[in-house]
Amino acid sequence: MAGCAGAFAYQLSLGAALEGLVSAYGFVPARFTAALGGEEPLELVLFTLISSAFLHGGWFHILGNLLYLRVFGDNVEDRLGHPLYILFYLFSGAAGALAQWFFDPYSSVPMVGASGAIAGVLGAYIVMFPRARILTVFPVFIVLTFIEVPAFFFLGIWALQQFLNGFLALSASMEPSGGVAWFAHIGGFVVGIFGGMLGRVLHRIRRRRRAAQSG
């Protein structure tokens, strides 16, 4: 969270120079395609798979990501452990960017944001804590009220929306365009599911070790 917030504060300080930062450190699918063909330095483009996750497109973008990370990230981190969680987070972000590249390899629009990494956290959470409940806002006519809903339901609806929007975007056009990188969300979420499985295994191993030590 601190890394994303710090990077966003730096973005705000750049003013008109921000466009150059996004162009240099955002992930551009067309540049990755060119790098695979030897037309650009591959190592520099690979670096943007990570650096792009620390850049954001505005206040709504970063606040939404930080909210999801605050609600779901702590529990996933507890299960994986801090070092493994950081690696998992970065890998999910990179996997999300590559998923978007796979479906739109010639897009020249820079991708920014931690959405793929956040999606990985959500995928891990739904596997690790399927019975958890989440306090969420629910509109009742014109009144907003807070209710608890199962995490599996909440995140399942979120995942379904990403798949549907990704399918609609793919059906509409494969031309480069701006907007939401739906396939980055999908790619990160799928990686997160496997990360959640790993977390469950590690949790069982730790429980057995503690039981053996106490016995």
Return the number of other C-beta atoms located less than 10 Å from residue 159's C-beta. 20
158, exposed or middle or buried, with CB in 10 Å at 0-12, 13-18, 19+?
Answer: middle
Find where tokens 């890394």 sit.
3
Strands (E), 20-132: none
pLDDT at position 176, please?
43
pLDDT at position 104, please?
86
Q: Contact 33/105 with Cβ under 8 angstroms?
A: yes
* Distance between CA atoms of residues 59 and 164, nearest Å: 26
- CA angle, residues 108, 113, 116, in degrees to nearest 5: 95
Instruction: Give the bridge partners for 140, in sequence order.
Output: 143
Close Cβ partners of 204 (under 8 Å, ≥ 6 residues apart): none
pLDDT in tens, the chain (215 residues): 556 666 767 677 777 777 888 888 899 999 999 999 888 889 999 999 999 988 877 777 788 788 888 888 888 998 888 999 999 999 999 999 999 999 889 988 888 888 899 999 999 999 999 888 876 655 555 555 556 677 777 788 888 888 888 777 666 554 444 567 888 999 999 999 999 998 888 888 888 888 777 76
Q: Domain-by-domain residue ranges, the chain?
A: 2-214
Structural tokens at position 79 = 């299960």
Q: What global pTM score does this model have?
A: 0.83
| Helix (H) or strand (E) segment spanning residue 202 | helix 182-214
- Sign of the torsion angle spanned by Cα atoms 106, 109, 113, 118: negative
Structural tokens at position 200 = 């469950």
CA–CA distance from 33 to each of 40, 98, 155 (Å)?
9, 11, 32
CATH number of 2-214: 1.20.1540.10
DSSP 136: E
